[in-house]
A = this chain, B = another copy of it.
Amino acid sequence: MLPDVLSFSQYELVYNFLSLCIASMGAAFVFLLGARQNVAEKFRPALVVSAVVVGIACYHYFRIFQSFEGAYALSEGVFKSTGVPFNDAYRYADWLLTVPLLMVEAIAVLALTRDVSRPMLAKLSIAAALMIGLGYPGEITDDNTTRAIWGTLSTIPFCYILYVLWVQLNEALERQPENVQVLMRNLRLLILGTWGVYPIAYMFPFFGIEGAGAFVGVQVGYTIADITAKAGMGVMIYHIAKAKTEHEASARGAANDDVVKAEKAATVAA
């Protein structure tokens, strides 16, 4: 799978995207923890989980970066494989932890009642872990049939997740304020759009897309998808929490105004 030779610019492209990803995840980590205070208490767990997700990803991209550095050495103007393997399992270990947590943050930010959120959380996070776990055996094989079987199995929980998010969640969404509904719809589209990148890269070997170009494409593609799906999603979660905080504050303000008006009316009547 790992190409023997990468051109100077191919190596630099992967190297710089990996570094960019470390910076982005670290930045999102600091932002999400730092901005927690700006949202109402009940939305803070969603921001903490979002911070945990980008923190885990930051750690794994450090490891992936180191592994990539060890896998190639500059020789006569190109980068040649050193024989030390490039450990792609870091990505799967990362996804195994973070993808279920992405489901947790998406549900936690809605602050639904426990009897609604708990079964939905259980379904989504188990399906997410299954999706990653079933994909891995296909990723490490050289046999396209085995790859196709595990890839197909992995697609079943993915479809189930889409079903829960698009059908089952709708009912809960209808009771949200209008701007939150729009933000949540965008969040779902972000999940669909970014998660769609992974199966495409997974299927590259079926189409005979191989060699250095394909390797670079997959690494850069995964990296951009991870930045969007984790750091981008974290920032969206923050905006949803902020919108809900403001909505509740204004609703409370309106209720207080009514009390004041009623009191005034009572005084006048007396």
The yes or no answer to A232 lying at the interface (CB within 8 A) is no
- Residues A1-57 near B (CB distance < 8 A): 8, 12, 15-16, 19-20, 22-24, 26-27, 30-31, 33-38, 41, 44-45, 48-49, 51-52, 55-56
Q: Mark A84-99, 1 if CB is under 8 A from B, else 0.
A: 1101011001101100
The yes or no answer to A193 lying at the interface (CB within 8 A) is no
The yes or no answer to A74 lying at the interface (CB within 8 A) is yes
Q: Which of B19, B33, B59, B74 has a CB less than 8 Å from the CB of A93?
A: B19
Q: Which of B30, B52, B59 has a CB less than 8 Å from the CB of A52?
A: B30
- Tell me, in angstroms, the Cα distance from A45 to B37 when the chains sit together: 9
With a CB–CB cut-off of 8 A, which chain B residues contact A55? 26-27, 30
Number of copies: 2
- Tell me, in angstroms, the Cα distance from A96 to B27 when the chains sit together: 13
With a CB–CB cut-off of 8 A, which chain B residues contact A20? 93, 96-97
The yes or no answer to A83 lying at the interface (CB within 8 A) is yes
Contact, CB under 8 Å: B63 / A74: no
Contact, CB under 8 Å: B93 / A26: no
With a CB–CB cut-off of 8 A, which chain B residues contact A8? 85
- Tell me, in angstroms, the Cα distance from A12 to B16 when the chains sit together: 26
- Tell me, in angstroms, the Cα distance from A24 to B52 when the chains sit together: 10
The yes or no answer to A230 lying at the interface (CB within 8 A) is no
The yes or no answer to A60 lying at the interface (CB within 8 A) is yes
With a CB–CB cut-off of 8 A, which chain B residues contact A87? 12, 15-16
Contact, CB under 8 Å: B26 / A35: no
Contact, CB under 8 Å: A41 / B38: yes
Q: A19-B93, A27-B97, A87-B12 are in contact. Are A36 and B34 (CB under 8 A)?
A: yes
Q: Which residues of A contact B (CB under 8 A)?
A: 8, 12, 15-16, 19-20, 22-24, 26-27, 30-31, 33-38, 41, 44-45, 48-49, 51-52, 55-56, 59-60, 63, 74, 83-85, 87, 89-90, 93-94, 96-97
Q: A35-B45, A37-B41 are in contact. List 15 more A-B contacts (CB 8 A).
A: A12-B89, A23-B56, A23-B60, A23-B93, A23-B94, A23-B97, A26-B59, A27-B56, A27-B97, A34-B48, A34-B51, A35-B44, A36-B37, A38-B44, A74-B84
